[in-house]
A and B are shown apart, each in its own frame.
Chain A
Amino acid sequence: MAGGTITRADLSEAVYQEVGLSRNESAELVESVLNEISDALVRGEMVKLSSFGSFSVREKGERIGRNPKTGEEVPILPRRVLVFRASHVLKNRINNALSSPAPAQNEVEA
């Protein structure tokens, strides 16, 4: 694996290269896209981006957790968590690029 990290700056640069906007405006647009997605999720909407994946909000009920250090029981309050499901297109793209070629699916001794 390459193991590098890309950030907003790289996304802005890609937008800048692709569309003839200023670097500044490219950066603002990247921000605006992330904000629109966040706002929709905060409203409780699901966000579906075809060939990339979907983000949805899941409601979690209250449960009893434990402080791993002290063993003390603490209530974990009900909360909303974000779930990302990658599309098949994205999963296949990543797998084809990174995994060693799949051997034929063969049966082995049980």
Chain B
Amino acid sequence: MTKSELIQHIADLNPHLYHRDVERIVTTIFDEISEALSRGDRVELRGFGAFSVKRREARVGRNPRTGTAVNVSEKHVPFFKTGKQLRERLNNR
């Protein structure tokens, strides 16, 4: 399922809404999550899962092709942990 298919499903369930409003709703939700993560906040959606940001320390890496050592600076990576209810649903429980 792609974002446009998701928008279409939601539009079908809500015939009283304009398609462009459904588009704005879906976009707003994921923008809001992205924005929270960019502030370093967590996003906790009970039953679905939680998004958070993990910090990776600066380290000396290696160019795998040439073997030369390279400084890799500190970075922050997004992380998702599946919620209990969804995890159970995935395994038909």
What total of chain A residues lie within 8 Å of the partner, measured CB to CB? 61
Total interface residues on B, using CB and 8 Å? Answer: 56
Between B1, B36, B38, B49, the greatest number of chain A beta carbons within 10 A of the residue's beta carbon is seen for: B1
How far does the Cβ of B92 sit from chain A's closest Cβ, in whole Å? 8
Check A76 for interface membership: any CB of B closer than 8 A.
Answer: no
Question: What is the total of A-B residue contacts with beta carbons within 8 Å?
Answer: 179
Say if the beta carbon of B39 comes within 8 Å of chain A: yes
With contact pairs A6-B43, A14-B28, A18-B28 given, residues A38 and B89 touching in the complex (Cβ less than 8 Å):
yes
User: Is B43 a contact partner of A50 (Cβ separation < 8 A)?
Assistant: no
Rounded to whole angstroms, the CA-CA distance of A34 and B71 in the bound complex is: 40
Q: For the complex formed, measure the closest distance between the CB of A67 and the CB atoms of chain B, giving whole angstroms.
A: 20
The one of A52, A80, A82 that contacts B49, using a Cβ cutoff of 8 Å: A82
A-side residues, CB < 8 A to B, are 1-8, 10-11, 14-15, 18-19, 21, 26, 29-30, 32-34, 36-38, 40-42, 45-53, 55, 57, 79-82, 84, 86, 90-91, 93-95, 97-100, 102-103, 105-110
